[in-house]
Structure formats: C-alpha cells, structure tokens
Chains A and B, each alone.
Chain A
Amino acid sequence: MIGIYLIGAFSIVIGLFFIRNKQLTFGLLGLFLVLQWILTFYSYNNLRSTDLTYFTYDSLAFLLLVTMSIISVAAIFHSHIYLEDQPAPPETRSIYYASIVLLITAISAGYLANHIAVTWIFTEITTLSASALIYHHRNKLALEGTWKYVFICAISITFVFIGILFLSLALEQAGSQDLSYTNLVTNSAKLNPFWLRLAFLFIFTGFTAKLGLVPMFTAGIDAKDKAPAPVGALLSSVLMNLGFVGIFRFYIVVANTPLHHWANMVIGIAAFLSVFVSTVYMIKVKNIKRMLAYSGIEHMGLVMLGVAAGGVGYYAAILHIILHAFVKSSLFLQFTQLYRVFQNKSIYNVGNYFKYNTAGAMVLLTGFISATAMPPSGLFVSEFMIFRSLFEAKQIIVLAALLLLLTIIIWAFGKNILKILFVPPVDFDDSNVPKISPWESLSQFVLLALAIYLGLNPPAELVELIKESIMLLPQ
C-alpha cells in the first residue's frame, strides 16, 4: 500500500506542478486527500505489519498519521481560501499546491519508516518542500526566512547523517549492519557505548531543527513566521511531530542501553532550556505568528521533559504531542482570518477581534485556553501527567522552575491574546473590514474539540495504542 501511496502522491505532485486549471487542481487535491485517508485506514487494518521492507504500520506511526490526515484536510481547505483571498500568479499557485502535497507525503512516509536512514531521507524531502512553501510570497523577507531555514536544516540534516555513521560504527561491534529500529533494539546490549553516545548527540541535535528544541529551534521560528499561515499550521504541528518521531525512535534504542540515564540528562537539559528560551521570547514578542511559534517551542520542551522524566511521562509525551498538534494548527489556521480583518500581524495594530469576527475570536479564546493547558483543555491532562512524572523522578527543583516559567508564559500569552480579543486597536479604520463567514472557523472548532475530547475522555483504543508505542521502553 505504501508503494501505491508514494507513487500516487508523487504523480499528483507532478500533476499539480504542471496543471494551471483550477478545477483540475481541486480534483487532484481531493484525490490526494482520499489517498491519504486510504493509507490511514489501511494502516489501521494492518497494524504492526511491514510494507516494502522499510515501512512499518506501528502504533506510534498510526497515531501520528491519523493526526496528520485530519490536520491536512483542514490545511488544504484553508490553503484554498488563502489563495482565493490573496491571489498568486498561476505558477506560484501550482508550486504551492505541489509542495504542500509533497510535504504531507514526506511527513507521512517519515512517520512510517522503520529504518533510520529512510526517516532521514524523508526528513530531507520535508526541508525541500517546506522551503518552497516558505518562499511563497517571493519577497525579501520571505527569502531571508527561507534562506535561514534551508541553511540550518541542511546543517542539521548533515548532523543526523554523521550520527547515523557513528551509529553504524557502534553497531559494527554487534556484528550487524542493519540499521532498522527493531534490529537496533534487539542488539542494543551489544552496541559500543562510546559511538552510541556520539551518535545520540548528533542525531538529537540534528532532529531538534524539526522538533523545535534548543539548539536548532531558530530556523523553525522564521519559517513559521514567513510561510503562509495554513503552511505554518503544518510546520508547527505535524512537521514537529516528525522531529519527535526521529528522536523518540532512536531514544527507545538508547533507553535499552546503560546510557539511558545520560541520554535523559541530555534531553532534559535541552528541553528545559527550550522552555526557558521560549519564556524569554514570549515576553518580548509582538508578532502573533512568532508568538504562536514560540509557544510551540515551549510545548516541545514539555514533551521532551516528559520523555526525560520517564514513567508516566512517556505516555504523557505521546498524548501531548498529538493534542498539541490539533491546538496549534487550529490557532495558525485562525490567523488567516485574523489577518484578513486587520491586514497586520503585529499585536500593536490588532484588537477588539470579538467585534469583527465573533466565531474566530471564540477560536482564539478556546485555543488560548487549550494552549496554556487550562481546564477543560486536553493538554491540561497531559501536562499534569508530565508534572507528575517529574515529581516521581524526584526532580523537584526542575519542576518548581518549570512551573514558574509556565506561569510567566501564561501571563505573556494571555496579555497578548486578551489584547487581540478585547482592547480596541489604535488608529484602526474599520470602515472596510471584510465580513468573515463563521463557517470558516468550523474546522478549527473541530480540531479544538478533538483536543479537548481526546484529553479528557481518551477512547480505550487510543490508550492502548499509546501504551503499545512506549512498550519497548524500560518502565
């Protein structure tokens, strides 16, 4: 099935690239979404089976694939609205649609890959397609954002490759050459610790560019700022999850070796620094998109702290990353409507959003409550579990510092969001504010509702799948 999916998706990409006709473009996009959902259902029916040697439909991949398929429907729908509102030349439009389909395909394949080199290849393709999307506006600032993103991602991806080379050295001692995750876990006892340590450092550093963690998080921020908001929704949710998959699958290998404790420390330090850095920027930031992007850095820091703490933290990390994807993508999608009203993305120049677009303002408010993990947000549940795991790991000082930082983030985030919602903007001429249909906010409500429902009342199947994806970790 994955073969059909990849061939189909790549032909659709080529088709979208060359076809300028609108109806045909929509047909192809619809066809792609159908293909995406067929793959999702197929992977549900064939859980735990391997396809084409290098792809396995395991539980973690399936969970993220469902998240991906749901978000991609909304993202493509809003891309359509976005391109209707800000018409681009036909060839720019074609490149946009072709790249977004390529991005979704590469991320899906990256989730399913069971071999570290295959994950690496698809991660590289995401850089390629994302950079075409970031450059959508073809102006100076977009070029600057694209350049930074491409350059930092290229270096990070080289780091991952160096890590893979060290990993193959570590594996050589075990007398094996197969770099698939299952083989690595089986041979984990025999891996050379020195090379494994180097491999972990390089692979972790490399994937932080996609995950959005210290040290390589900067590229992602500029990218999410300059990319059109529907693309930002993908970059800040499902692409981050791909970075998580890259680190987490390798972390499972390391966790089964004596280096487990050391790896936890590395991850913990990077994660805590990420929360710290995002706090510092959240206080200062005045650009709404960048604010949302920094909030993503904070959440990824929390997720990785959960992984580092272990115990219930593993479960919480997977739950958190799924719920965060829904919340953050809905906020980014809402931004397109906000921008249509105010034609500005600085917090100084927007305000009183309730007056201009009530449904959208409700999304922003609910999204804010969800993103800051206040009840009834589903993220409250997962974040609470992360705190508990830190408590159980006896990291009281880290926990206290973390809670302090999160309080500051809630204050900074709340100050900005409430200004957008209620305080009238200075010098804003509202005589020709476009009327925005409340139906456009529907997809965002659905995403937010999913995040609340899955957090508060997770179906038994979801719990089972999450437990299965962390099964190989030492409890």
Chain B
Amino acid sequence: MIDVLLIVFIITLFYLSIANRLLSYTKVLAVQGVLLFFVVFLQLNEINTLNLVLIMLETIVFKAVAVPMFLAYLLRRNNITREAEPYLPNFVSLLITTAIVIATILLSNSIKDTHLDKMFFVVALSTIFSGLYIIASRRKIITHVMGYMIIENGVFVLSLAVGNEMPHLVNLGIMLDIFASVLILGIFLNKIGDVFKDVDVEQLTNLKDY
C-alpha cells in the first residue's frame, strides 16, 4: 500500500512538470500533502498521540491545506497571470523529470545498505531534484516558492526513509522549516506582490556590481 502511494507521489511529479496553470500546482501540492499523511500513517507502526498530532499538523494542516490555500490566495491577491511560463517546452520538462527519476533509481540500486528503504529513497531524491529543476526552469517568483515547497516534501519523505522513530530534534527541525518557509517566503511574497506589479524574476536583476 505504501508503495502504491509513493508511486502516485512520483506521478504527481510528472504531472507538475507538464502542468500549465499555477492553480494546478497548488492542487498538486495539496495532493502531495495528503499522500504524505497516509504514507506516514501506514509507516509508523506504533503511534503515540503526541506524534500523531504533530504529523497531522505537518502534513494535513500545513502541507495539504494551509500552504496551497495561501498560495492560491496570493495568486488572486496579486493578480498573477495563471500560466506557469516555463523557459523550456513541457515535453522537454517531462523528459528531464523522467531522467531524474531514472537516475535516482540507478543510484539507489548501487547502494548496499539494509537500513535504507530504497523506495522512499528514490521518491525523496527525485522529488528534491524535480523541485530544484522547477525552480530553475520557471519564470515567476511564486513558482520558485512552489518549487521550494516540493523540495520540502522531498525532505520530508527522506526523513521517513531514514527511520521510523525520528528523534525529537529532527521533528523540531521540520516544524521550524515549515515555520520559516511559510513565514519568510509568504510574507515576502506578499511584499513583493505589492512593490513589483507582475511578479517575474526578470524584475529582480537590479542589484549590480557597478
């Protein structure tokens, strides 16, 4: 069952690479959040209430509801045009994402470590690298934020790959990460929307050496 969920997760990455509208990005992020929740729920064999509440907070509340809603709100508020405007055609994006997934599968096959769940490892690494690719290949600042959120999801899967019993500090780290990403990125995106009218990275090229 977990494997099925993880494969669906990979499929969301393929979908992201060809998605055209920004709203579908937010929807995919929400779907990823829900998927992550079920993965964690099935993965942890003994759950105490505190841990469950924490994980609920991280996945359902933050990743599946709050962040996508906030991003959708930003899209409306700043009147951002609805296309993602990638630098490369969607077909190339799809090819690159496929290449990333294949490369991580090859990499994970070369690892001989019994402690590691390879399925998680493949999903985590391909999510992180697709996130980086989305950041690099899209023109709008808000897609950069979405790419960052995808990387965060990858990191979350990776922390599941590392072990069922996460040390409390790592848990705390994830919370802080969410805190930082939502707070800093959200607030500044708000400000950037006010100051620059259409939010495009090309407008952020005024800092120069001379």
Number of interface residues of A (CB under 8 A): 46
Interface residues as binary, B145-156 with A (CB distance below 8 Å gives 1, 0 otherwise): 000100110010
Q: Which residues of B contact A436 (CB under 8 A)?
A: none
Tell me if A391 counts as interface (CB < 8 A to partner B). no
Kindly state the interface size class of chain B when it binds its partner: 35 or more
Pick the residue among A117, A157, A169 that contacts B115 (CB under 8 A).
A169
- CB-based contact A148/B148 at 8 Å: no
Q: Which residues of A contact B169 (CB under 8 A)?
A: 115, 117-118, 179
Q: Which residues of B contact A145 (CB under 8 A)?
A: 207
Q: What is the minimal beta-carbon distance from B93 to any residue of chain A, in angstroms?
A: 20
Q: What is the minimal beta-carbon distance from A375 to any residue of chain B, in angstroms?
A: 30
From 154 to 179 in chain A, residues with beta carbon under 8 angstroms from any chain B beta carbon are 154-155, 157-158, 161-162, 164-165, 168-169, 172-173, 177, 179
- CB-based contact B148/A151 at 8 Å: yes
Per DSSP, are chain B's interface residues mostly helix, strand or loop, or mixed?
helix
Tell me if B188 counts as interface (CB < 8 A to partner A). yes
Q: State the CA gap A140–B197 with chains docked (Å).
A: 12
Q: State the CA gap A127–B144 with chains docked (Å).
A: 18
Q: Which residues of B contact A287 (CB under 8 A)?
A: 208-210
Q: State the CA gap A219–B148 with chains docked (Å).
A: 16
Known: A128-B180, A161-B173. A177 touches B167 (CB 8 A): yes
Known: A121-B173, A172-B115, A286-B209. A143 touches B191 (CB 8 A): yes
Q: Which residues of A contact B141 (CB under 8 A)?
A: 147
From 90 to 130 in chain A, residues with beta carbon under 8 angstroms from any chain B beta carbon are 115, 117-118, 120-121, 124, 127-128
Tell me if B2 counts as interface (CB < 8 A to partner A). no
From 275 to 319 in chain A, residues with beta carbon under 8 angstroms from any chain B beta carbon are 281, 284-287, 290
- CB-based contact A147/B151 at 8 Å: no
Q: What is the minimal beta-carbon distance from B55 to any residue of chain A, in angstroms?
A: 17
Pick the residue among B113, B155, B167, B208 that contacts A158 (CB under 8 A).
B155
Q: Which residues of B contact A225 (CB under 8 A)?
A: 207
What 10 pairs between A and B have smallest CB-CB spacing? Answer: A286-B210, A117-B169, A285-B209, A144-B204, A165-B162, A172-B115, A150-B184, A222-B207, A165-B158, A169-B162
Extra contacts besides A121-B173, A226-B207 (14): CB < 8 Å: A117-B169, A118-B169, A128-B184, A140-B195, A147-B141, A147-B204, A151-B185, A165-B155, A168-B163, A192-B113, A225-B207, A284-B209, A286-B209, A287-B210
